[in-house]
Amino acid sequence: MLRRSLGVRLSMVAVLLLLSAQVQAAVGPLEQVRETVSGIIGVMQNKEFDKPALKTARRDKIMAYVTQRFDFEEMSRQTLGAKWRDLSPEQRKEFAHLFSELLKNTYIGRVEAYSDEEVKYDREVFDGDQQSKAMVYTKVVKNNQEIPINYKLMARKGEWFVYDVMIEGVSLIRNYRTEFSRILNQEQYSGLVKRLQEKIDGRETAKN
C-alpha cells in the first residue's frame, strides 16, 4: 500500500515537472512579436533587396512574416462587429481577404518608415485573469523621440496572433470599424468591397 501511494506521488511529481517545463519552454507574446518585427526589419535593411529585380521578392518575404503572426480573420470579425454576422460565408471570406491585403499594406508602410530606427520591446501585459490575451508594448526610437507601437494578441495552440495594432495611440481596428460602418450604412456590402479594392489598388500603384 505504501509503495503504491509513493508510486502515485512520484508519478504526480513527474507530471507536474513536465508541465512546468512545457510552460517555461513556451515562447511568450513579447518574444513572438520580437521575432516577427525583427524578421521584417531584417528584410527591409537587407541591401540585396534594394535591387529592382528583387522588389517583389522583398515584399513577399515581408508578407510572409506578417501573415504568420497576424490573425486576419479575427481582425475582420472585430472590425465589422455585429455586421459580420449578416455576411454569408462567401462574403466573409471575400472581406477577410481584401481587408488582410489592406492591413498588410498599411502596417508594412508604417514599419517601413521606421526601418532604420531602433525598436525597444518594453513589456507584455496579460489581460487580467485571461492568460489567452495580452498586449505587447514596443517603441520605435526616431530622432530621439519614442513612437509607441503596441500589439494586441490572443493565444491559440501555443502561438500568439496579433488581432489589433495601436500605432501612436490609434487602433487600426477601431479606426477602420468607424469608417466601414459608415460605408455599410450608406452603400451596403457591395459598396464596401468596391472601396476596399480601390484602397488596395491605390496603395499598390503608389508602391510601383
Residues 32-91 have pLDDT tens digits of 999 999 998 888 888 888 888 888 888 889 889 999 999 999 999 999 999 999 999 999
Residue 183 contacts residue 192 (beta carbons within 8 Å): yes
Phi/psi at 87 (5° precision): -85, 150
Task: Quote the pLDDT of residue 7.
Answer: 42
pLDDT tops 80 at residue 192: yes
Alpha-carbon torsion (65, 37, 133, 169), positive or negative: negative
Q: Is the pLDDT of residue 181 over 90?
A: yes
Looking at per-residue pLDDT, the higher value among 32 and 116 belongs to 32
Which H/E stretch holds residue 16?
A: helix 2-25
Q: Are 140 and 41 in contact (CB under 8 A)?
A: no
Ramachandran class of 128: left when φ > 0, alpha when ψ lies in -120 to 50, beta otherwise: left
Say yes or no to pLDDT of 19 above 50. Answer: no
| DSSP assignment string, 40-74 | HHHHHH-GGGGSGGGHHHHHHHHHHHHHHHB-HHH
- 43 neighbors 61 (Cβ within 8 angstroms): yes
Residue 74: how many other CB atoms lie within 10 Å: 17
**Distance of alpha carbon 189 from alpha carbon 99, whole angstroms:** 13
DSSP class of residue 121 equals E
Question: Residue type at 134?
Answer: A
What is the value of pTM for the model shown? 0.78
Mean pLDDT, residues 3-29 taken together: 44
Of the two residues 140 and 111, the one the predictor is more confident about is 140
C-alpha span between 150 and 124 (Å, rounded): 10
pLDDT of residue 5: 46
Report all structural domains of the chain as residue ranges with CATH numbers, in order of start.
7-207 (3.10.450.710)
